[in-house]
Amino acid sequence: MSDVEAWVREFARSVVAEAPRLTELDSAIGDADHGANLSRGLTAVVAALEDSSFPDDGALLKKVGMVLVSTVGGASGPLYGTFFLRAAGSIGDGFPAAFRAGVDGVAARGKAAPGDKTMLDTLVPAAEALAAGKDWAAVVDAADAGRDATIPLVARKGRASYLGERSAGHLDPGATSAALLVTAAAVTLGA
Ligand code: ADP
Ligand code: MG
Ligand code: MG
């Protein structure tokens, strides 16, 4: 198994393990489905990885993206799907480049930026730490700090934005699942 496949599988494992907590976070400022959405999608991803073999990591990541887009309803399916589809196109240039391309794809697709209280608050600082050549512990710290910084923010994108000021004081669910994506990378690619 390639390191990239191990990363995807570890992300799937951690999302399934944390699904109740992700859904609880989404119950506070969304519609209580983030854990269910992502665990359904990533369970389908793991099934697809079992069923097929891939010539390279680009093909594998493309499959991951397509499965997420087709199995996850809600905002997070197209956004994580776009992340993996865009990462697929750049994995030949190395993990930091692929991660950056994925994050840029999420920002373009969701028309969001850091500070909007979304997964990008986690993903952008992680991409910057990777680009700066930081070690994995520092990359995880950057992601976790970005996640935690969503607590006081007022959401400007997604369902949480419907709450206006009442969205402040809560951790963003997508920022929390995105931190699992980064930790999964550190555990598998940084090992
Ligand atoms: P839905 O809100 O459609 O039920 P999920 O609950 O699966 O979808 O995912 C919600 C998460 O998606 C939010 O916590 C946020 O991090 C992320 N999100 C929502 N809209 C956007 C956007 N436009 N750009 C980036 N991330 C977004
Ligand atoms: Mg939701
Ligand atoms: Mg929903």
- Summarised one tens digit per residue, pLDDT across range 16-35 is 999 999 999 999 999 999 99
Does this model's pTM top 0.90? My answer is yes
The number of residues making up the chain comes to 191
Question: Tens digits of per-residue pLDDT, 62-79?
Answer: 999 999 999 998 899 999
pLDDT tier at 191, thresholds 50, 70, 90: confident
Q: How many domains does the chain have?
A: 1
Of all ligands present, the nearest one to the C-alpha of 147 is 1
Q: Which of 79, 156, 181 to mutate to test the pocket of ligand 1 (most atoms within 8 A of CB)?
A: 79
Provide, rounded to the nearest whole percent, the portion of the chain with pLDDT above 70: 100
* The residue type at 187: V
CA of 30, closest atom in ligand 1? 2
Residue 37 Cα to ligand 2 midpoint, Å, equals 8
- Mean local confidence (pLDDT), 122-135: 98
For 138, the domain range is 3-189
3-state secondary structure at position 32: coil
Query: CB of 18 within 8 A of CB of 183?
Result: no
Of all ligands present, the nearest one to the C-alpha of 79 is 1
- Mean local confidence (pLDDT), 157-173: 96
Give the rounded distance of the alpha carbon of 39 from its chain centre: 12
112 lines ligand 1 (CB under 6 A): yes
Of all ligands present, the nearest one to the C-alpha of 173 is 1
pLDDT tier at 134, thresholds 50, 70, 90: very high
CATH number at residue 152: 1.25.40.340
Q: Which of 76, 86, 162 to mutate to test the pocket of ligand 1 (most atoms within 8 A of CB)?
A: 76
Instruction: Answer whether residue 108 shows pLDDT above 80.
Output: yes
3-state secondary structure at position 135: coil
Q: What share of the chain is helix, strand, coil (3-state, %, to 5)?
A: 75, 0, 25
Question: According to the model, what pLDDT value does residue 166 have?
Answer: 96
